[in-house]
Amino acid sequence: MKFYNVELPCIKLLEKRKMLFFKLINNKTIIWKNGSKRLDIDSIKDVRTDSLARNYIEEYGIDNTTAKWWVTLIYVINNNKLKCLHLVLNNEEEFKLFVSSILDIIKERRELMQSILVPDHARFANIHWESTVSPKKEDEIKETLTFQDVQALCSKFNIVSSHSYLHKNFLLADVNNNGLLNFAEFQTFVKLLKKRDEIDTLWKNITLNKNKMNFESFFDFISTKQGENITKKAALRLFKQISQFKETINKDIFLKYLRNEPYTKNINENYSHPITDYFIASSHNTYLLGKQVAETPSVEGYIQVLQQGCRSVEIDIWDSEIGPVVCHGLLTSAIPLSNVVTAIRKYAFITSPYPLIISLEINCGPDNQLLTVKILREILGNSLLESIVDKHGIMSPRHLKHKIILKSKKCKHVEQQTPLSSFSSYSSSHESEVEIRQRRKKSTASIERFRRIKLKHDFRVIDQLLEISAIHGIRFRNTSLPESKTVNHCFSLNEKKIDKLCQDKTLKLAIDKHNRKFFMRVFPHVIRYKSSNFNPIQFWKYGTQMVATNWQTYDIGQQLNIAMFQLTDQKNGILNSGYVLKPKYIREKTTNTKNIPLIYEKIHQNKKKLIFNILSAQFLPSNDLKKGCTIAPYVIIEFFTTEITELNQDLQVHNGTKISDYKITTKTCPGNGFNPVWNCEMSINICDDSFTFIRLCVKSSDTTLGVICFKLDYLKRGYRHVPLYNMEGERYVFSTVFLYSEIK
């Protein structure tokens, strides 16, 4: 039973706890306020009750009895922004009816959307014929399409192919040679257009040239080629589901199965280790939406990264006449600290229940520090955690659910600053004052907007602020001092500093040993004034928990960061945690640095061979193609790992070109952006797939059509369709790359 067309009374928390009546209409929309307010079921990303909604329940001060009937709906609005709808039902019966109805409909509609995504040829043709020729079914037998109509249709539905490619298929479908396609001929045209030679070859190999596939062939395929760890009983249930309880499946059903199967493994992460045993999705200069210099800070920066799954954000707090503010130096515009903390409190756990770390950069005097403590205590309330240690030691992410942890730098003082020295602190240490002045003159328009405030003096971080900070940042001198042994300390180093330290083998081992037990944070150097990113892999390999990147820039560094934390893959509406357990060999504690090389030697002895084949792509986008350019897609394949020089000496490529020891390109496929086929095979030796990433960049000439970056040990083996993303990190709905992978 669903609450379809039945009004259920609920209390909507953001409506001053008024009683409102909610109704489900057409199995796709929830309405209230007599239909003036509505929520589409398709926009719901998550349904949270009980412990998963605990932070919201505590925020609104709901008693335990009422909390049992609490529901939070996480949904998407314009520009992929997440919002919450908090409801309280009246009793257990209405609660179960509401929640079960929502979950059932979400499941049904997702299955429906998946079926529409890959319809059979006849259905595909019927949908597109009706949208182009006539809405009346009887017109199908008397209406026709010209070649110009077909071109317009393909353009409308983003079927990117050259004139010659479309015309060739048009002529093949035009069986009566009159230069027009009736409905039957248009169905043939669609079949030719959607023909996938690589699937035909695979199908023939599996079925031995038969038209049908039985269960035994299917089970052999998914257990051997696909590497699925599945029992025969479970495989039979799956086969019955996709075959609709028939004895065999045809090629179209098989293709539909391949397209619907997830390309990443379903990893059940263990969150019971100490929090220092995890990599944590971390943001640098979170308050900025663009470049580092002359950029206006914004609360939106915090909202965006928290909605994407970030678990460590940064706040730079400065003095002002109105109290503590957040900005990027003395001379830039600023936003009140209270606004930032309020936004963080609201969005802290919208994607993940696991702890959020706030890295505080304190650049204000004692008075504003006291106000900072007051603001943090009042707004964060019970979610604020003052210690990460209990009687058993450092607590785990599981024990720290819905908690906010502050990190403050435990320093004695800073030097008195002037506007110039403040600005230069965000500039390259290699620049002279003359060079800085010259660069500042180029930004006259921006400087006019700068807010000048009283110069700050030397200060100390007050005890009250350190008391509410569960993690204390300390200056790195070495790892042997007593302060470097405290449980709650954290070293913060910029990329160049840690690179320089790790050139010394003894220091590198000491840092490796330190990070097996204590916190470290690495962030981009100040010379990255355009908010570019470094390659984070080497810092993860050092065991660094918080490798902070500029999330506002979707470059290769951020793509690797997103791939590590699987932030693009929201399986079944459940968002990702932002925590990844380190590989065992990096988190194992050791009392002697001499043992560390021995640990790595064991890893390097276990070489594996990766076979990787870029077969084809589907529905490539054309938005960024230059006007008049004919599409000729190709793929650049890049391997990112920590052992490139050693591993890739044996890189072998077939039907493609080796550009470097870690980069390959396929041939071009002129004129076909709808279903280009490359069949480019390569093999590479790898030692550690924990830190091996693969990036695919689909291009036409010098235009990037789409990218995808994934971590090798997350990728399911066998034949997989992987999605493509634009250069802002937004997923294309239909565009995919079809690939094959195998590890020997």
Task: Name the residues annotated as catalytic.
Answer: 284, 328
DSSP letters spanning 584-606: HHHH---S-GGGHHHHHHHHHH-
Q: Rounded to an integer, what distance in angstroms lies between the CA atom of residue 461 and that of residue 414? A: 10
- Residue 453's CB is within 10 A of a number of other CB atoms, namely 17
Are 662 and 602 in contact by the 8 Å Cβ rule? The answer is no
Computed from CA positions of residues 461, 481, 279, 57, in that sequence, does the dihedral angle turn out positive or negative? negative
Judge whether 677 and 737 are in contact, CB under 8 Å: no
Angle at 11 between CA 5 and CA 12, to 5 degrees: 95
Provide φ and ψ at 193, rounded to 5°: -65, -40
C-alpha to C-alpha distance for 56 and 309, rounded to whole angstroms: 17
Which tokens is 647 given? 């591993």
Nearest-angstrom CA–CA distance, 374 and 342: 13
Q: What one-letter code names the amino acid at 101?
A: S
Number of other residues whose CB lies within 10 A of the CB of residue 200: 11
- Separation between Cα atoms, residue 365 and residue 19, nearest integer Å: 47
Q: Closest Cα partner for 296 from 320, 336, 342, 327?
A: 327
Helices (H) and strands (E) in the chain, counts: 25, 33
Closest of 50, 107, 28, 41 to residue 572, by C-alpha: 107
- The helix (run of H) or strand (run of E) holding residue 706 is strand 703-711
Q: What are phi and psi of 214, to 5 degrees?
A: -90, 180
- Residue 374 corresponds to which tokens in the numbers above? 């007051």
Q: d(Cα 371, Cα 245) in Å, to the nearest integer?
A: 67
> Which residue, 430, 434, 318, is CA-closest to 365?
318
Tokens of residue 137, six digits: 């079914």
Structure tokens at 38: 């509505």
Distance CA 60, CA 562 (A): 32
Apex CA 131: angle with CA 129 and CA 134, to 5°?
75
305, 344 Cβ separation under 8 angstroms: no
Which among 694, 576, 695 is positioned nearest to 267, based on CA atoms? Answer: 576
Specify the DSSP element, H or E, that contains 235: helix 232-243
